[in-house]
Amino acid sequence: MKNNKTSKWYNTLLWYASYCKGKMILSIVLSISGVLLSLIPFYAIYKIIEKVIANSITLEFGLKYCIIAAVSYILSSVFKSISTGLSHVSAYTILEKLRLSVIDKFNRAPLGYVSGKSIGEIKNMVVDRIDNLEMPIAHVIPEFSGNFVLPIVVFVILMIIDYRMALASLVTVPLTIIPFSFLTKGFNEKYAKYIKSGNDVSSAIVEYVEGIEVIKAFSKSQSAYKKYSDAIEGFRSFALDWLKSTWLAVKLSFAIFPSTLLGTLPLGILLYIKGAITPSELCLCLMLSMGMMGSLANIEIFMNDLRKMRYTVEETTEFLDMEELPEKQTEVIFNNYNIEFEDVSFSYEQDNEQKAVNNISFSMNQDRFSALIGPSGSGKSTIAKLIARFWDIDSGKITIGGNDIKEIPLKQLSQIVSFVTQDNFLFNCSLMENIRLGNINATDEEVIKASKVAMCHEFIEKLDNGYDTTAGEAGAKLSGGEKQRIAIARMILKDAPIVLLDEASAFTDPENEHKIQQSIKALTKDKTLICIAHRLSTVSHADNIVVLDEGSIENQGKHKELLETCELYKNMWLAHIGAKKRSIVRGEVLTDV
């Protein structure tokens, strides 16, 4: 969906409202008509009182005005109900379109931005915050317009009857302006804090539940629970402080504002005594002025809802306006899939001196197995993500087959790169469909063949529903290594010419690790294979090993050369061998060195 870029929140809202313009206009018209119709019973009462006072009321006359009052009341209720119904339909349409835009934006935003967000934050943005709009759009827009028109019409009628009564009906306005302005002072900042506090609670809950296994395994329940309870406590104390600071002003303003009788009753009696108005006019003025302020009080409430709506739309607009990666549309023709880094530098924060990748140059050629190794935080995953263009680099150039990756349309890039990351996300559909995501045209037989190569066929077959087991059902039963093998089967099925394996064997048990490495190697023949591995043994047979340290290349070459020339590699290798020996002493099965 196209997004109309604008920085003004109401323009964004109007743009989305254009999807249901007709319904919204009809809703407003019906709401105003309903409000105007609701005035007719007052007029009927006025006419009846007039006749009663003149002692000339007849049954026929009384019945006629009772019917007029009843019909207008019924019509008013029907109009208002239809108006609210239409505004709800409009609200849900706007919510749907906004959510689709946000999801679409997640699709087009730099992948790094999306993968850097927690599930809690994403849920907040797509579900909770946008939900905040339902109430204001569904109620405020029609009711606000009705409640806005009513006092104006009533004021005009009062002016026609007696301008002094009209002015007297406004007596509570100056009395409430002072507490009301106190109430609204700094509302935007406070509301922003309120939302942030609520989001903190949401994120803490999601994090707590997601990490419950780690929390229990490492006996961190107390500290994790403290983080969660601190967030709740922070929310409670902020909300209570805010309530306390505004409570008196709110109560005063709501008590005084609708009390129009303070002005109209004494003045009305005075005017009646002086003979300036009739008793029936006095009754009508008193009734109308009371109804008028009720509407104005509603406007006061709606103003707060409008501010809430503004805050949410502003925040969503800011996200929708976020700069996207510039993208070319014309597909590129590849003669080969060699990857070249030329003086590439990149840092995650724009103004950060600390580069995650610093002036690096290397080649990773097709039909060769390249490996990236280095201590934790040395920039291995960042390099893999830069190849998949999760982010754009700060300086230098990355090319694939001689083409700058900025010239390759993102869709084409995603088709030529298979990326098995550390998080092997499984959708909650069957395992068959999860694997088929690699190639939606693959037959069941092809899925099973890929699973066999990735060594996941055996354990999938053992599940109660085999390949039809949903990832949700299987979730608790699958180990990290098994999930990873499903991701590898998906990658095998995709058959992309460039394969990035980030820590792909980290969870795999040593017994299967060797077999998986062999299958990947066979399958990635003619491909550009880049592997980041914890265990140096899995990459020791690589054609080229790039050793990284603190974002720079320490050295590169084959295993044997590096053992002689690169101190860091030698130390990592010795540490790795030491760990293996310790494993053997513990009796673990090892098939590879």
CA nearest neighbour of 83 among 142, 140, 40: 142
Binding-site member from 381, 484, 517, 544 for ligand ADP (CB under 6 A): 381
Told to check if 472 binds ligand ADP by CB under 6 A, we report no
Type of residue at 266: P
Q: Taking CB under 6 A as the criterion, which residues in 57-116 touch ligand ADP?
A: 116
Q: Taking CB under 6 A as the criterion, which residues in 167-206 touch ligand ADP?
A: none
CA-to-CA distance for 246 and 232, rounded, in angstroms? 21
In the complex, minimum distance from the CB of residue 503 to ligand ADP, in angstroms, rounded to a whole number: 8
Phi, psi dihedrals of residue 325, rounded to the nearest 5°? -70, 130
- Which span sits near ligand ADP by CB under 6 A: 79-87, 208-216, 379-387, 539-547? 379-387
CA-to-CA distance for 216 and 200, rounded, in angstroms? 22
* Burial call 159-169: b when 16+ CB within 10 Å, e when fewer: eebbebbbebb
Report the residue number, 91 or 417, with the smaller CB distance to ligand ADP. Answer: 417
Q: Taking CB under 6 A as the criterion, which residues in 221-250 touch ligand ADP?
A: none
Report the residue number, 218 or 348, with the smaller CB distance to ligand ADP. Answer: 348
In the complex, minimum distance from the CB of residue 372 to ligand ADP, in angstroms, rounded to a whole number: 8
In the complex, minimum distance from the CB of residue 419 to ligand ADP, in angstroms, rounded to a whole number: 13
Report the residue number, 58 or 376, with the smaller CB distance to ligand ADP. Answer: 376
In the complex, minimum distance from the CB of residue 356 to ligand ADP, in angstroms, rounded to a whole number: 4
Binding-site member from 22, 377, 480, 578 for ligand ADP (CB under 6 A): 377
CA nearest neighbour of 533 among 455, 386, 422: 422
Told to check if 394 binds ligand ADP by CB under 6 A, we report no
In the complex, minimum distance from the CB of residue 497 to ligand ADP, in angstroms, rounded to a whole number: 23
Binding-site member from 47, 129, 380, 389 for ligand ADP (CB under 6 A): 380
Report the residue number, 268 or 374, with the smaller CB distance to ligand ADP. Answer: 374
User: Could you write out the DSSP letters of every residue in 277-305?
Assistant: S-HHHHHHHHHHHHHHHHHHHHHHHHHHH
Type of residue at 124: N
To the nearest 5 percent, what fractions of the chain are helix, strand and coil? 65, 10, 25
Measured at the alpha carbon of residue 35, what is the angle toward residues 28 and 292, in degrees to the nearest 5?
Answer: 120
Binding-site member from 55, 219, 376, 441 for ligand ADP (CB under 6 A): 376
Q: Which residues pair with 498 in a beta bridge?
A: 417, 528
CA nearest neighbour of 87 among 132, 36, 28: 28
Q: Is there a contact between 488 and 504 (Cβ–Cβ < 8 Å)?
A: yes
Q: Is there a contact between 417 and 364 (Cβ–Cβ < 8 Å)?
A: no
Q: Taking CB under 6 A as the criterion, which residues in 335-374 touch ligand ADP?
A: 348, 356, 374
Please give the DSSP secondary-structure letter assigned to residue 470: B
In the complex, minimum distance from the CB of residue 380 to ligand ADP, in angstroms, rounded to a whole number: 4
In the complex, minimum distance from the CB of residue 481 to ligand ADP, in angstroms, rounded to a whole number: 19
Q: Taking CB under 6 A as the criterion, which residues in 108-137 touch ligand ADP?
A: 116
In the complex, minimum distance from the CB of residue 155 to ligand ADP, in angstroms, rounded to a whole number: 58
Told to check if 430 binds ligand ADP by CB under 6 A, we report no
Report the residue number, 31 or 381, with the smaller CB distance to ligand ADP. Answer: 381
- Which span sits near ligand ADP by CB under 6 A: 91-99, 375-383, 464-472, 570-578? 375-383
- The residue count for the chain: 593
Phi, psi dihedrals of residue 140, rounded to the nearest 5°? -65, -45
| Total site size for ligand ADP, rule CB under 6 A | 11
Q: Is there a contact between 161 and 284 (Cβ–Cβ < 8 Å)?
A: yes
In the complex, minimum distance from the CB of residue 578 to ligand ADP, in angstroms, rounded to a whole number: 21
Report the residue number, 335 or 352, with the smaller CB distance to ligand ADP. Answer: 352
In the complex, minimum distance from the CB of residue 325 to ligand ADP, in angstroms, rounded to a whole number: 16
In the complex, minimum distance from the CB of residue 114 to ligand ADP, in angstroms, rounded to a whole number: 11
The three-class DSSP label of residue 113 is helix
Report the residue number, 116 or 472, with the smaller CB distance to ligand ADP. Answer: 116
Report the residue number, 101 or 381, with the smaller CB distance to ligand ADP. Answer: 381
Q: Which residues pair with 545 in a beta bridge?
A: 371, 557
Please report, for the chain, how many H helices and E strands are present, in that order: 26, 10
Lookup result for tokens 């290397």:
362
Told to check if 378 binds ligand ADP by CB under 6 A, we report yes
Report the residue number, 16 or 391, with the smaller CB distance to ligand ADP. Answer: 391
242 HSE (CA, 13 A, CB side): 19
The crossing angle, in degrees rounded to 10, of helices 261-273 and 279-320 is 160
Lookup result for tokens 């939606």:
440
- Which span sits near ligand ADP by CB under 6 A: 331-339, 377-385, 442-450, 482-490? 377-385
Report the residue number, 34 or 379, with the smaller CB distance to ligand ADP. Answer: 379
Report the residue number, 266 or 377, with the smaller CB distance to ligand ADP. Answer: 377
Binding-site member from 136, 263, 379, 438 for ligand ADP (CB under 6 A): 379
Report the residue number, 81 or 118, with the smaller CB distance to ligand ADP. Answer: 118
Lookup result for tokens 């150039």:
397
Report the residue number, 446 or 549, with the smaller CB distance to ligand ADP. Answer: 549
Report the residue number, 367 or 550, with the smaller CB distance to ligand ADP. Answer: 550
In the complex, minimum distance from the CB of residue 137 to ligand ADP, in angstroms, rounded to a whole number: 35
With a CB cutoff of 8 Å and minimum separation 6, the contacts of 345 are 355, 357, 358, 359, 360, 393, 394, 395, 396
Task: Give the containing element (helix H, strand E) for 525.
Answer: none
Both tokens of 44, joined, read 């009927």
Type of residue at 264: T
Measured at the alpha carbon of residue 574, what is the angle toward residues 570 and 579, in degrees to the nearest 5?
Answer: 150
Q: Which residues bind ligand ADP (CB under 6 A)?
A: 116, 348, 356, 374, 376-382
